[in-house]
Structure 1
């Protein structure tokens, strides 16, 4: 019995130590993967996405929308995506986790209002639209804040 109590305590301490060392944002990255649901429904007028999407991105046009039940609730808004070297992945995804304040460990860059949706740390976040991203979808401050508040873990993201 004492061994199982010690094992449980050791596991709890490991979680606390992980959060203390790598931070809450990194701990959120350890959340279970949420698989995307298949795209379904009719194409929403004025977008390349179907009714099942909650967030829609058109890379070639540099635009994005928030959708609710096939209705546009915000957009189109301007975005900046990745370039040929670090492209933004296309497909259907699910929001995996969110962090209001996040700093990329890979690039050391702040990514306010991050909404992570694709493997490799790909997210919607606030950022300059003057230069390409490393695969993320960069938004203005107001748009990033709105996307952060609107989207929830599990919501479908379609990128075209």
Structure 2
């Protein structure tokens, strides 16, 4: 009996050493959530958007395509489920594309201010115009999420800082052009369709932020209108 107890104690001791050693050496962590076999409520719409066969049934190929889209745009969980957030992003993309080169067709952004940067929160689009002439855009942007909405109204660029770093969130904000308190146009290293949105700033791709930097100056007008979906 004594030998059995000693062997058991040794075995337990070895096991207790092996477990942390395995973690130290990089044992395989729990696998990420697998691709779902369940169809979502927007299955057909998502299939059509992605150019998949529109049958309303979830296939492994459907799931792979949906998941790739979700991963690219930071939609969580990225398990290939055709849910409301995924379809919401795709539907917004469709609406943005339909605008074409006439973002101010309704004349909502003022045309009597000379050069002005316009931001349509509803469509998550921005552009620069001079009178009725389109100077640049429209381009997709990422504005404030629920609780941190980008404020609407007529404003002016009052401060520019090409290498700004947020003192609140401690994150870089390249090509910052402030137009309302701490809210600014600036480059952001995420997809412009990444939900739920910014903390109030108008996020842009680096290429767009650089273009805005070259086209705008201190004192130029900015007009923000509409309402971001989900706010």
Normalising by structure 1, report the TM-score. Answer: 0.69
8 Å CA contact retained: 1:48, 1:56: no
Following TM superposition, the consecutive aligned residue runs of length 4 or more in structure 1 with deviations greater than 2 angstroms are: 43-48
Deviation, structure 1 residue 46: 5.9
When residues 92 and 48 of structure 1 are mapped into structure 2, their CA distance, relative to the original with a 3 A threshold, is same
Normalising by structure 2, report the TM-score. Answer: 0.48
Alignment of 1:26-105 (within 5 A): 44-45=104-105, 48-51=108-111, 52=113, 54-105=116-167
- Which of residues 101, 105, 122 in structure 1 aligns to 2:183? 122
Deviation, structure 1 residue 70: 2.5
- 1:147 paired with 2:212, answer yes
**Number of equivalent positions:** 117
Larger radius of gyration: 2
Higher relative contact order (CA 8 A, sep 6+): 1
Name 2:221's counterpart in structure 1. Answer: 156
* Unmatched segments (≥5 aa) in structure 1: 1-42
Root-mean-square deviation over aligned CA pairs: 1.7
Instruction: Give the structure with the higher percent helix.
Output: 2
* Unmatched segments (≥5 aa) in structure 2: 1-102, 226-231
